[in-house]
Structure 1
Amino acid sequence: MIVGDERSQVLDRPERDRVCTPDILPKLQSLLANLANIDTDHESNLIVIESRPMDDACKRRLIADLCESHRQRRAPYLREIEALREQMEAAFH
């Protein structure tokens, strides 16, 4: 397929289907920054737990709880990122 054909296919689409809303990038950056903060907090807490002298079973339990909390904190941000990905995909297909 030649380039001109690709452009004509894009131009045939209604404008609302071709335009990616301008607020997607700032939203994505914000979501990724929040995930990075959550991950940094998790790593810091993990280091604290691992460095403390305590019973191994207690340490494993605390680490498991920490990992579950980490997963739960990340989940809403990951859902929002997936929604943005779908929105971007719809805008360009």
Structure 2
Amino acid sequence: MLATMKRQSAHVAPGTTRLYQPELQPLLQFLLTALADIDFEHECDMEIVRNSAADEWLKQTTIRNLNQHHQERRARCLRQLEGVQKRMQAEAA
């Protein structure tokens, strides 16, 4: 999705065009960081459950709940990222 965007420095040479407005960069960075944090927290939680001494049925139930919660959190963040991407594409057109 966002992998095709080019990185540009804060200083753009005269005569070149920016891919997006500079005020979008902090929002983009925040959302990408939030997405990474969501994934990291999920992996940590999963590791705790996998290594616990709980019964297997309880582990599997907890893992299903963690996966569902993780997907919901990721979906919200991805929707926001898609909105930023659309804004960037509209500005580039």
TM-score (norm 2): 0.74
* Alignment match, 2:26: 26
* Sequence identity (%): 34
Q: Is the 8 A contact 2:28 2:84 kept in 1?
A: yes
Alignment of structure 1 residues 1-93 onto 2, 5 Å: 20-93=20-93
* Alignment match, 1:4: none
Query: What amino acid is aligned across from residue 83 of structure 2 in structure 1?
Result: A
CA deviation map 1:39-87 (0-9, x unaligned)? 1111110000000112222111100000111111222211110001111
Q: Which runs of 4+ in 1 moved over 3 A?
A: none
Structure 2 distance, partners of 1:88, 1:39, is: 25
Give RMSD over aligned pairs: 1.6
Structure 2 distance, partners of 1:35, 1:41, is: 10
Higher relative contact order (CA 8 A, sep 6+): 1
Q: Where in structure 1 are there 5+ consecutive unaligned residues?
A: 1-17
Q: Where in structure 2 are there 5+ consecutive unaligned residues?
A: 1-17
SS at match of 1:44: helix
**Larger of the two Rg values belongs to structure:** 1
> Of Structure 1 and Structure 2, which has the larger fraction of its residues in helix?
1
SS at match of 2:22: coil
